[in-house]
């Protein structure tokens, strides 16, 4: 089938704005369209367009195999739908009772993990990749160590990477043992990373992927207190750096922005929530997710217990009320756009 004289650049621009379901059907229109829709440049172009027009909220109910997906227009959420999947590895808990964690999302892919298996999953196409969790220590040591995970994209090498940091304290010497492992989707291999001599805060917390790096709260000494630094792990170089936090942040809940990445003095206050994070339970564990379409409200995850809208002008917080979520007591949540990214063979060789 010809394009009736329409340049392929124009066809590409038009198709990149269509919903993913339509593109999957249009692959059968012609060999040209099939090749175009499978082209890596087009896949990236379509993803950029999709995140500008459609944002999906992915919810995984804790200790359940149920996944829900919803998108919103402005601040109004559409009716959530249950995501059908055939992944036996997402059965809720593994045989040892360890829940399947939804711990990262990047370019339309989500990453899930339990004690023995990691799954990269394209929720839009249902394509997936199963990765054996070879770098965990023995199962009988699961509760004796702290595990920190992150998922990000290496733009230079066009590679998706999983970073796992396993930490424990030697009972004899009271010294920190910190081991980093990096998985490359491109090479389908694990390799050892450099040791990170900082105590990561809050066990099993996922890394936040920003500016090509994964970030975790950290402290230098084994003393409980407010995190003073952020560890930044560059997924391209596979080296870590340190970002200093603002001083005197212990008694308030803040949302701050770093204008000049990596420079402590460039932190800028965006919002301040009245009440300390420990003295006000309703504000404990807030995690910013995304802005509303017009940018005047901020969507927050409250420690996996509820979603909140924070009105930036009125400085008021209100619950996201969805009847379909009434029976969900706790959940993991991620923001995820549509993506045509392929993951190859679903099982690890």
Distances (CA, A) of 189 to 131, 213, 247, 347: 9, 20, 40, 13
Separation between Cα atoms, residue 242 and residue 246, nearest integer Å = 13
Per-residue pLDDT of the chain (349 residues; tens, 9 = 90+): 455 667 888 888 889 888 888 999 999 888 989 999 999 899 988 888 887 777 778 878 777 777 878 776 555 666 667 776 666 555 554 554 456 778 888 998 999 887 778 889 988 888 888 887 665 554 434 445 577 889 999 999 999 999 988 888 777 877 888 888 999 999 999 999 888 888 887 655 788 898 899 988 888 776 655 556 888 899 999 998 888 776 655 555 555 555 566 566 556 666 665 544 444 445 567 788 888 878 888 888 888 888 888 888 887 888 887 776 677 777 888 888 888 888 876 555 4
CATH class, 54-336 region: mainly beta
Residue (of 260, 261, 266, 310) closest to 289 by Cα position = 310
Backbone φ and ψ for 340, nearest 5 degrees, come out as: -100, 5
The pTM (predicted TM-score) of the whole model is: 0.81
- Cα separation of 145 and 153, whole Å? 27
The torsion angle over the Cα atoms of residues 149, 150, 154 and 157, rounded to 10 degrees, is 30
Which whole-number Å values give the CA distances from 238 to 150, 156, 199, 212, 289, in the listed order?
12, 12, 18, 11, 26
* CA gap 230, 218 in Å, rounded: 6
Query: What residue ranges of the chain are covered by domains with CATH 2.120.10.30?
Result: 54-336
């Amino acid at each position: 089938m010809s394009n009736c004289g329409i340049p392929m650049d124009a066809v590409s621009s038009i198709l990149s704005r269509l919903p993913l379901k339509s593109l999957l059907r249009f692959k059968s229109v012609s060999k040209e369209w099939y090749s175009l829709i499978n082209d890596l440049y087009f896949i990236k172009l379509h993803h950029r367009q999709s995140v500008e027009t459609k944002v999906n909220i992915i919810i995984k109910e804790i200790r359940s195999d149920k996944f829900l997906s919803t998108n919103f227009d402005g601040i109004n959420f559409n009716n959530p739908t249950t995501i059908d999947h055939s992944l036996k590895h997402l059965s809720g808990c593994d045989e040892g009772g360890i829940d399947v964690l939804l711990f990262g999302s990047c370019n339309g892919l989500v990453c899930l993990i339990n004690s023995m298996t990691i799954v990269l999953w394209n929720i839009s196409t249902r394509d997936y990749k199963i990765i054996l969790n070879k770098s965990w220590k023995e199962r009988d040591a699961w509760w004796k160590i702290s595990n920190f995970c992150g998922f990000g994209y290496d733009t230079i090498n066009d590679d998706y990477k999983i970073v796992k940091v396993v930490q424990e304290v030697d009972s004899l010497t009271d010294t920190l043992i910190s081991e980093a492992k990096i998985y490359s989707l491109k090479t389908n291999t694990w390799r050892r990373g450099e040791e990170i001599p900082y105590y990561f805060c809050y066990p099993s917390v996922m890394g936040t992927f920003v500016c090509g790096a994964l970030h975790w709260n950290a402290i230098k000494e084994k003393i409980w207190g407010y995190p003073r630094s952020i560890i930044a792990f560059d997924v391209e170089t596979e080296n870590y750096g340190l970002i200093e936090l603002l001083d005197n942040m212990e008694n308030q809940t803040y949302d701050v922005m770093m204008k000049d990445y990596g420079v402590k003095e460039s932190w800028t206050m965006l919002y301040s929530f009245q009440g300390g994070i420990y003295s006000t339970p309703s504000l404990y564990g807030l995690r910013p997710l995304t802005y509303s379409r017009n940018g005047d409200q901020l969507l927050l995850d409250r420690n996996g217990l509820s979603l909140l809208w924070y009105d930036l002008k009125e400085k008021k917080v209100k619950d996201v009320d969805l009847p379909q979520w009434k029976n969900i007591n706790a959940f993991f949540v991620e923001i995820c756009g549509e993506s045509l990214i392929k993951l190859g063979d679903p099982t690890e060789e």
